[in-house]
Every structure is written in C-alpha cells, then in structure tokens.
Structure 1
Amino acid sequence: MKINDAVFGELEYDYVWSKDITIEFFGKEVNIALMVDGEEDGEFSEKQYASYNTLKENWGDIQQNILTPILDYYKEKRSELGYDVSYDVNYPLIETNDKLLENIKLVGIYVPSARRFEARYIGLTFDCTWDEENGVGIRLINEEVARVGYQDVAL
C-alpha cells in the first residue's frame, strides 16, 4: 500500500511506512531509508510531523552535535572490549571526528509514533566498520542526543 503524505511524501507500507531519500551528511549526498512508525491507515500525528520538520530545519546543527557522542560511545566500547590496550583490526584507534566519519555511514532516519514519547523524537541509524551486525543508533529527543548504542536504540 502506498500513500502520498503532505510532509513525508510518498511512503510505502510494510509494517512501517518507509521510502528511500537522499540527504546531505557532512557535505556528501547519501541515500538512506526514512521510516515512519504508524498504522496501515497512514494517519500520522502532529508530533511526528513536528519531529521530522524540526529535524530538517536543524539538520546542520544536529550533524555537528552527534559526532562527539558517537566517538565517546566508540571509545567506551573499545575500552570495554580491551582493545584500548590490545590491538584489534576491527577497533582501530579513532580520536577525531574526521576519522570517525571514515568509519560510519548514515543509513536511516526513524520517526516513531507519538504515543511512545511526549517530546519530539527522532532515531538515526548508522552502519559502522567496527560492528557490522549491530551498527550504531542515536536517539534524539528535542533535537538533543539522549542515547547512543546499537541501532535498536533509535527504533
């Protein structure tokens, strides 16, 4: 089933509404999945619209604000696994945002249903070189990083 939503555009339903979009991420055009939680009727809430529109309006600032938390998460994971003292090819030393950007790829934006959260909520999902199975996820609440972890924290 397909719909053409005024805010999200043309979406297709397969247990979640989704479509592929192109977005700028640190100066590069990337193709990602836009996923919008909702029932099969295609009715979305004002909070979902506000979350997505605010993300688009503040995307430049949000990009700048997510790298340090991802880098901190990476360093913590690397240390937990002991790779800060012993070498592992999958967990190289990454100390700068530029180096981090070489090791992550934005793959999705998730807009959950409004009943799950009172505030504006967006999830961002990334593939990463150090954990291909789980990737990295970011939960944004009111455009601020609330949590970083595996991709499922974004969903």
Structure 2
Amino acid sequence: MSVIQDQDFGELHFDGIWQGVCEVVFLGRRLEVELVIQTFDDAPISQTQRLAYREFVANKASICAQVEEAILKHYLDHLCAYRACFDAHEVDARAPSVREVEGMRDLVCLRCIKVMYAFDEGVRQVGFIGDATFDPELGLGVLVTNGFVEAVDTQDFLLG
C-alpha cells in the first residue's frame, strides 16, 4: 500500500483504489467519511476529478443541502413501496412517514464520498453513498454532476 499527501485530497492511501477521509456536515451531523477517487488501470487522478473535488469542497454546504433535499424527495416518491417491504411491527421504524429533511437523519447513514472517474471531459461528478433503513440491502446513492444533483437511486449505480 502506498501513501501520498495530495494537494487537493490530503492524505491518500492506494491499495487498488485511492482512499482518504472527507469531512462533511450531512443531515445535521458533522461526519468523517471515506473518500474514494475512482481510477482505472492504475491511471493517475485526472484534472477533471481534481476540479470536481475542488468544486465540492468550495460548495460543500450547498451541495450537501441539495443532496439532502433530493434524498427526501426520492424517499417520499417511493415511500409506499418502501413501507410495503416491512412487517407492521417494524414499518414505522424502518420507513416512517416523514416530511422534512431532519426526519431523514435516523434513516440514512452516509458512508462514502466518491469522486467519479471522468469519462467525459468537463463532466465533474461526485457520488454520495450511504446505508438506508428503508433499503437495507441496496442502500442509497446520489450522483452530483457539475455541482447539481443528477440522480438518486440505490447505491449500486455508483459502486462500479
């Protein structure tokens, strides 16, 4: 395993993937979560990925607020389906009826911020990957593209 001190990402460890730590305030909690910079075939971190992370750091509060709102909207859009997956004794704990972002605090646990591989020039993408009580098997993923939420789904679309 190699360790470097990177000008943008701080201390990074490489053991097949670049990993570090990222501090965010998410759903009202200050967290240190895993930071992953996605590369392929031992390629270096690209300038587009650096720009994506710089943009994220510079706008962390507003991007996190967008992600929180998008998660709430996604949750409310799928609430009936989520609630149908649980027995009567656990449904209100796993998939309660909430109407505010603050209500998501006990339902979603952010695990990772992932700076996505830059397949297209100028497309800066950061993924938020988390666990969710309402989808314990597949969790939750949010893709932020060029500073705006593009997609919310199960986390698998960000894990590749």
Equivalenced residue count is: 154
- Aligned partners of 1:118 and 1:152: how far apart in 2? 24
Cα distance in 1, alignment partners of residues 25 and 122 from structure 2: 28
TM-score w.r.t. the length of structure 2 is 0.83
Note if contact 1:37-1:113 (Cα within 8 Å) is conserved in structure 2: yes
Relative to structure 2, which stretch is displaced further, 20-29 or 127-136?
20-29
- Do residues 62 (structure 1) and 69 (structure 2) align? no
Look up the equivalent residue of 2:24 and give its one-letter code.
I
Q: Does 1:2 align with 2:6?
A: no
- In 2, distance between residues paired with 1:117 and 1:132? 35
Other-structure match for 2:29: 28
1:49-104 Cα shifts (integer Å, max 9, x gaps) = 00000001011111221222211211233223564xx9524221121111112321
- Give the C-alpha shift of residue 39 in structure 1: 4.7
Partner in structure 1 of residue 111 of structure 2? 107
Any conservation in 1 of the 2:27–2:102 contact (CA below 8 Å)?
Answer: no
1:26 to partner: Cα distance: 4.6
* Residue type at the aligned position of 1:92: P
Counterpart of 2:95 in structure 1: which amino acid?
Answer: Y
Q: Secondary structure at the match of 2:97?
A: coil
Gapped regions of structure 1 (runs ≥ 5): none
Partner of 2:54: 53
SS at match of 1:114: coil
**Measured at CA, do residues 22 and 114 of structure 1 come closer, stay the same or move farther in structure 2, by a change above 3 Å?**
same
The alignment's TM-score, normalised by the length of structure 1, stands at 0.85
Structure 2 unaligned spans of 5+: none
Q: 1:117 to 1:139 in 2, by over 3 A?
A: farther
Q: Which amino acid aligns with 1:75?
A: L
- Structure 1 residues 73-82 or 26-35, which shifts more? 73-82
* Aligned position for 2:144: 140
**Do the aligned partners of 1:147 and 1:153 also contact (CA within 8 Å) in 2?**
no
Q: CA RMSD in A?
A: 2.4
Say whether residues 1:149 and 2:153 are aligned partners.
yes
